[in-house]
Structure 1
Amino acid sequence: MKDIFDLLGRILLSFIFFFEAYDYFAYEGLNKKAMMIYGLTWNQDFFLYGAIFFLFIGALSILLGYRMRLGAIMLMIYWVPLTFIVHNFWTETAGTAEFRLQSILFMKNIAITGGLLITATHTSGRYRLRRLFATTNV
């Protein structure tokens, strides 16, 4: 049962990063405009495609259970700065709807970071890519 929950947790955790990588790719123009709003004007293509690469490879690593520590670190390199830059609720007026929304999104991202830290310190269960290849007679 533990191995099934491990796999389910890896699927759910990686899904948000796959979705974000898809969103960055599908809505490239809108994401570049958002980067301008947050002051990222230098070499936008490098940062956008670098983020897509980190998101996709990190999520794939966690999903497959292969080099999960590296995948979690790649995702945190992207996720932690993004959280503090985009969801800076402390700059909003307390009690407003924007303050509440940004504080909830900030805490959601902090919780996901906690999941990545747990993932980085644990090994994957029975359902992982390396074990699949180790037990087949190819």
Structure 2
Amino acid sequence: MDVVLLIGRVLFVALFLGSAFGHLTQTDAMAGYAASRGVKMARPATLASGVMMVLGGLSVLLGVWGDLGALLLFVFLVPTAFLMHGFWRETDPTAKQTEMVQFNKDVALAGAALAFFWAFSQDPGLTVTGPLFSMG
């Protein structure tokens, strides 16, 4: 079962590492979009979120304090859902639907991050380090 969890980790973090690459290489464009959604200090927020995704994603992928990495991704996802994908603010039906899908994706991924947090707290194997946080 360790291999199944490892495959899940790889699939889970692929999204974050790809997004982090965009945040860190196309910062101005990403920050412009964040600013248009009302994010204050959009450029530093874009860079910080990119770093969080890299650190959290690599931590989960490699199993180096994967519990901490999963928490980093959770802390990234929840505010992102509400700040960037506030479908309730949209008046255009298509935009509302698009933002609702993105909001729901972020909430679902936040749930998955919490599940990975728990899994890493159980010292699941195929990791470089044990858990940083003890759940027992």
* TM-aligned CA deviation for residue 40 of structure 1: 2.9
Q: Higher mean Cα deviation, 44-53 or 17-26?
A: 44-53
* TM-aligned CA deviation for residue 45 of structure 1: 4.1
User: Which letter does structure 2 place at the counterpart of 1:102?
Assistant: E
CA deviations over 1:39-63 (Å, ceiling 9, x no partner): 2343x44322221211101000000
Q: Which residue of 2 aligns with 1:7?
A: 6
> Of 96, 99, 104, which aligns to 2:96?
99
Question: Aligned-pair RMSD on alpha carbons?
Answer: 1.8
> Of 66, 83, 86, which aligns to 2:84?
86
Q: Which residue of 2 aligns with 1:108?
A: 105
Kindly, what percent of the aligned residue pairs are identical? 24
- What 5-or-longer segments of structure 1 have no aligned partner? 132-138
Q: Give the alignment's TM-score, normalised by structure 2.
A: 0.84
CA deviations over 1:82-114 (Å, ceiling 9, x no partner): 1111111112238x1112111111111111111
Return the alpha-carbon distance in structure 2 between the equivalents of residues 45 and 101 of structure 1: 24
SS in 1 for 2:125: coil
| Higher RCO, 1 vs 2 (CA within 8 Å, ≥6 residues apart) | 1
1:7 and 1:125 in contact (8 A); partners too: no
Q: Which has the higher Rg, Structure 1 or Structure 2?
A: 1
Aligned residue pair count = 128
Q: Which residue of 1 aligns with 2:31?
A: 32
List structure 1 segments (4+ residues) > 3 angstroms apart after TM superposition. none
Q: Give the alignment's TM-score, normalised by structure 1.
A: 0.83
- What 5-or-longer segments of structure 2 have no aligned partner? 131-136
Q: Which residue of 1 aligns with 2:134?
A: none
